[in-house]
Structure 1
């Protein structure tokens, strides 16, 4: 019996992949690191950073030419998320489309995320 393919923890929209590749081409760090931290009025904040190498327990996801490291403590909060890149008249920013997100603060800087429940 073969195992079903493991779903990617996070994916990138075409716009996000293009922007990340553009930024990373100018730098010296080959990985995008994604995670969540406690903070903000809604409880959690998404974090993006660039990394030179994986840390212990990071999950590696390859999507659209980008090597994404997901912090181990963020996996259950980010499973199924898409990272997008939006440009409006006033700002350009990365945004998360997360099926586990249940609420967000009014300014959009923090979110409430319920971890994915394990399937039996």
Structure 2
């Protein structure tokens, strides 16, 4: 079961088993990696784009400014201001042709995306 370490109330995010295994393998290969930060920035033709970065030291971040979501021993760091854009998202890791691989975000709030699928937009209710 996923757990929000900061104990804030939100729907949260979830990882598929494949995404969890990929994060776990990254941590196992590079023991100095503490988790992954999901950033959302204005970019692309649809409006926003996901960017991932590795957290090597938890002192890199101010925990007050982040939701820290934990799935077993894989930590996901998300800036507080990005939660409204990512809340409820399911993250998967997909491989195709043995060459192309990436994390995919199934965000129920994303109502528009560009043709290549690299950026998304949220339409306010």
Q: Common fold, TM-score beyond 0.5?
A: yes
**Matched position secondary structure for 1:99:** coil
2:41 counterpart of 1:37: yes
Higher mean C-alpha displacement, 102-111 vs 23-32: 23-32
Residue 77 (structure 2) aligns with: 69
Residues 13-92 of structure 1: matches in 2 within 5 Å? Answer: 13-27=16-30, 28-51=32-55, 52-53=57-58, 54-55=61-62, 56-89=64-97, 90-92=99-101
1:51-97: CA deviations, max 9, x gaps? 12133411111113211111112101111001100111151110001
| SS of the residue 2:38 aligns to | strand
Q: Which runs of 4+ in 1 moved over 6 A?
A: none
CA spacing shift, 1:47–1:29, aligned 2, 3 Å: same
Normalising by structure 2, we get a TM-score of: 0.80
SS of residue matched to 2:92? strand
Matched, 1:103 2:103: no
Instruction: State the distance in 2 between where 1:114 and 1:65 align.
Output: 34
RMSD of equivalent CA atoms: 1.9
Q: Which has the higher helix share?
A: 2
Question: Counterparts of 1:73 and 1:33 in 2: how far apart (Å)?
Answer: 13
The 3 A distance-change label for structure 1 pair 24 and 8 is farther
| Contiguous gaps of at least 5 residues in structure 2 | 1-7
Q: Is the alpha carbon distance of 1:23 and 1:43 closer, same or farther for their aligned partners in structure 2, counting shifts above 3 Å?
A: same
Structure 1: any 5+ residue segments left out of the alignment?
Answer: none
